[in-house]
Chain A
């Protein structure tokens, strides 16, 4: 598998040859930040286009077709429309918090996005407590949503924000438990190391029964965590107009919208990394010819293929099931998913202790 670390260390050595190390590191950080934001925007645009097309397919429609080939320029037009719209201010609201809230949501999203290992040597934040940091970064978004709902000075927004807060805090537990199940199997929390351990089989195969249960719990909880259907109660159009971002217009609304779609991608790519091997190709022990062919495909193609496969699964769920009630959502989490997750964790410990995994 090609190691992009060769490129990055070459760039670093070239930069340090002509300038002091501090300046070189600073320049590299700026460059990486710009690349990260660019990738963020590109992923958002792809996700919005994909959402429209997948939604249309599930409803027996065609989706956007008029602007550009297969409607592919439609999303860019929408982005320009959103950029040129006026950002309105709400009377009798806390202007500072009202303007701050979308940026907090984006901050959390970008920080979580930076944890994703795209390919070998292309990890941006690769702490040895990577999984813990990912959970921490993604938990900040709730604050932004609560502030948005409160500072809009609107009862619907506030109800939407409260629902969203309750839902996200609850489902974070299930996400944590299902990731923890896999960490028991890997004994590491570093994302790059987690991917490397899957060279001889992805964890969903290596951990068999508990891993599959954890994967299903993760998919359900991940869908709820990003506030998408059938768990899109915070922005239930029929009862709350648009939930916490009702009062936002222009690019401030756009930030919420983009963050929601990229959060879906983040949840999917973490699922792909932890359960489906990340950028690691499909290897079957014993079949050397097959493994060599699989190795010829670059890592980032494997990664994006897996991530978008999980995205597609989640979109399928969203456009298939009707919306639940808030008490049903919380019952599902606290009475079913958390106990199942805890028992599953115990099962995984038994499997690891008695070496029943592959």
Chain B
């Protein structure tokens, strides 16, 4: 196996994601955890860009890094006070967390290693926006119009709920 530029970039990104993911769950301060989460999301977007799927990478940056992390930071700023530190884990919780993590890891490894992947039909070069748009809005086979519309209904419900909670009267 020869070392190519792609491989080096992938290893750097993977290390970046792993280190930040571990830091995000081990840090004691909640805002730092949000920041490390932001870095994990950056790394994931980097992998999408490396796969030449710039649409998903841009959406990852826009929705997760620019949207959800900002929301997290906002709600942390509004709710928690200055010296908030996570309380120390007791033994039972630690054991439960460890078991859950190991089970999830085992499951993921089992599925990844046992699954025989189809030979990839991935076309090199960028996917055009037109193709993505048609796939999102078509009602035929491999079209995504139903999930697309259902998610928009869900978002509408969220907006209505948010207004209902925020309104005092």
Q: Are B77 and A146 in contact (CB under 8 A)?
A: yes
What is the chain B residue whose CB lies nearest that of A149?
Answer: B77
Interchain CB contact under 8 A, A136 and B77: no
Q: Is B55 an interface residue (CB 8 A)?
A: yes
Contacts of A127 in B (CB 8 A): 54, 58, 126
Contact between chains at A142 and B66 (CB < 8 Å): yes
- Tell me if A143 and B70 are in contact (CB < 8 A): yes
Interface mask (B58-70 → A, CB under 8 Å = 1, otherwise 0): 1101100111011
Total A residues in contact with B, Cβ cutoff 8 Å: 36
Chain A residue nearest in CB terms to B74: A165
Is the CB of A139 closer than 8 A to any CB of chain B?
yes
Residues 1-35 (chain A) with a chain B CB within 8 angstroms: 21-23, 25-26
Closest chain B CB from A115 CB (angstroms): 11
Report A-chain residues with C-beta under 8 Å of the C-beta of B57.
133
Cβ-defined partner of B61 (8 Å) among A137, A147, A153: A137
Contacts A127-B54, A129-B54, A189-B129: A147 and B73 contacting too (C-beta < 8 A)? yes
Q: Which residues of A contact B66 (CB under 8 A)?
A: 136, 139-140, 142-143
Stretch at the interface among A67-75, A92-100, A216-224, A338-346: A92-100
Encoded as 1 (CB less than 8 Å from any A CB) or 0, chain B from 27 to 52 comes to 00101100100100000000000000
A244-287 contact mask (Cβ, 8 Å, vs B): 1 or 0:
00000000000000000000000000000000000000000000
A150 at interface (Cβ–Cβ under 8 A)?
yes
Beyond A26-B5, A153-B82, is A97–B74 a contact (Cβ under 8 Å)?
Answer: no
Q: Given known contacts A22-B5, A26-B5, A169-B70, is B77 in contact with A150 (CB within 8 Å)?
A: yes
List the A side residues contacting B31 at CB < 8 Å.
Answer: 94, 97, 147, 150-151
Tally of A-B Cβ pairs under 8 angstroms: 85
Q: Which of B65, B66, B67 has the most CB of A within 10 A?
A: B66
How far apart sit A225 and B6, CA to CA, in the bound complex (Å)? 36
Residue B79 interfacial (CB < 8 Å)? no
Secondary structure dominating the interface of B: helix
The residue from B4, B58, B77 contacting A132, defined by CB atoms under 8 A apart: B58
Does B128 belong to the interface (CB within 8 Å)?
Answer: yes
B interface footprint on A149-187 (CB within 8 Å = 1, 0 otherwise): 111010000100110010001000000000000000001
- CB contacts (< 8 Å) of A139 on chain B: these are 61-62, 65-67, 70
How far apart sit A241 and B130, CA to CA, in the bound complex (Å)? 49
- Whether B69 lies near A143 (C-beta < 8 A) is yes
- Cross-chain contact A128 with B126 (CB below 8 angstroms): yes
A135 to B69, CA, bound (A): 16
Instruction: Write the nearest CB–CB distance from A158 to chain B, whole angstroms.
Output: 7
Complex Cα gap A164–B21 (Å) = 28
Shortest CB-to-CB span from B29 to chain A, Å, is 7
Known pairs A22-B5, A128-B129, A169-B70; A140 contacts B61 (CB<8 A)? yes
- Interface of A: prevailing SS: helix
Selected from A147, A161, A165, A169, the residue in CB contact (under 8 A) with B35 is A147
Nearest-neighbour CB distance to chain B for A258, whole angstroms, equals 21
**CB closest chain-A residue, reference B126:** A128
* Binary contact track A188-231/B, C-beta < 8 Å → 1, others 0: 11000000000000000000000000000000000000000000
**A133, B61: Cβ atoms closer than 8 Å:** yes
Contact check, B55 vs A132: say whether CB atoms are below 8 A apart.
Answer: yes
Shortest Cβ distance from A150 into chain B, in angstroms? 6
Given A22-B4, A143-B73, A189-B129, A97:B59 Cβ within 8 A = no
CB contact under 8 A between A165 and B32, given known A129-B54, A136-B61 = no
B4's nearest neighbour on chain A, judged by CB, is A22
| Residues of A contacting B54 in the complex (Cβ-Cβ under 8 angstroms) | 127-129, 133
Question: Would you list which residues of chain A between 296 and 313 have a CB under 8 Å from chain B?
Answer: none
Partner of B129, one of A23, A146, A151, A188: A188
Q: How far, in angstroms, from A96 to B66 measured CA to CA in the complex?
A: 21
Interface string of B78-108 (1 = CB under 8 A from A): 0000100000000000000000000000000
**Contact call B61/A100, Cβ cutoff below 8 A:** no
Tell me whether B74 and A146 are in contact (CB under 8 A). Answer: yes
Residues in B with CB closer than 8 Å to A25 are 5
Report how far A153 CA is from B82 CA in the complex, Å. 8
Chain B's closest residue to A146 (CB) is B73
How long is the Cα–Cα vector from A286 to B77 in the complex, in angstroms? Answer: 60
Name the CB-closest residue of B to A183: B129
Partner of A135, one of B35, B62, B130: B62
* Partner of A97 from B5, B32, B129 at Cβ < 8 Å: B32
CA of A234 to CA of B73 in the docked complex: distance in angstroms?
A: 17
B58 touches A136 (CB 8 A): yes
Give chain A nearest CB distance to B166 CB in angstroms.
13
Pull 15 A–B residue pairs with CB atoms less than 8 Å apart, ordered by A.
Answer: A22-B4, A23-B5, A26-B5, A92-B82, A128-B128, A129-B55, A132-B58, A133-B58, A135-B58, A139-B70, A146-B74, A146-B77, A149-B77, A151-B31, A188-B129
